[in-house]
Structure 1
Amino acid sequence: MSTPQLVTETLSFFQTIRCAGLAPGAESDMLLYQWGVYNWGHGEHFELDITRQFIAEGRVGDDALSQLRVTAYFQPTEDLRRIKAGNRWCEGVDQVEQLRRFVQASEAYKAVSQVAPQRVVAEWSPV
């Protein structure tokens, strides 16, 4: 999967697939775009990630949270290391086009949009 495909598919999924069993309110189903060079104990990588965060109905605190993450991993070049890590939230379907424009204009996206990721991982887990 290419970076443009990752962005297109994850944003489309958020726009078209609504989830049941979530707490009331827009904040119970949001997107997070994040990027940067990280080492989570498995070697250093540049990551471009879109995470969908859910808050389950009837639960409290961290027990209520789960995330569906789609992450593209890249070899961290010097150019990628110079990009400051960051993130941006999208709080609802009505903000998806704003997020799409932000992602496509971001330095991180531009740096990897024409580069094949080493791997792409999709995972769902509690927080």
Structure 2
Amino acid sequence: MKPADSEAAFIAFAMDHGVDILHCTVREGFEQMIAFKRDVAAEGVEADDGDVLMYQWGTFDWGDGPHFLVELTRQFVEAGVPEDDAISQLSLTFRFPSTPQYENLGEGNRWFDQGESLQETEAEVRSHPGFVAVNSERAADVIVRHDYV
């Protein structure tokens, strides 16, 4: 799969596994994203850190009021492409109306490099307070997008 095709490929991958990614729980979505990383290789990416995951959480205001989000992003760095055009990201974002409980979780991110096993990555994300708070929930909004950064 080429990075530019990752959004459609991920949605199809999840559907093939019986998951409607836009109407699933956080846990189901993250399981699909990790399985997609494990099972579907990215073509044409740098050998070292050309295909990595990032987990992000926090309360943010994107112009329509504060929302708590948890997000799993697969970042690609394409080989042989000028630096400014080489980096893209496939993101799976779950947004929830903000509450004091969510705001108390703070915000941040954690990058996982290619040297870390997907089992370790999954275990760390599953134990994070942001994930634990919403893992069985269905979000107000689920966003899947691929963008060049």
Establish whether TM, by shorter chain, passes 0.5: yes
> Where does structure 1 lack aligned partners over 5 or more consecutive residues?
none
1:37-66 residue CA offsets vs partner (Å, 9 max, x unmatched):
011223211110000000111123231100
Partner-residue secondary structure (3-state), 2:147: strand
1:1-127 to structure 2, matched below 5 A, reads: 1-23=24-46, 25-92=47-114, 94-127=116-149
Partner-residue secondary structure (3-state), 2:126: helix
1:4-41 residue CA offsets vs partner (Å, 9 max, x unmatched):
10110000000010011212x23110000110001122
1:57-101 residue CA offsets vs partner (Å, 9 max, x unmatched):
112323110000000011111100000111111212752111111
Q: What stretches of structure 1 move > 4 A for 4+ residues in a row?
A: none
Q: TM-score, normalised by structure 2?
A: 0.79
| Equivalent residues, number | 126
Q: What is the CA-CA distance between 1:103 and the residue it aligns to?
A: 0.9
Q: TM-score, normalised by structure 1?
A: 0.92
Q: Distance in 2 between matches of 1:67 and 1:93?
A: 19
Of Structure 1 and Structure 2, the greater strand share is in 1
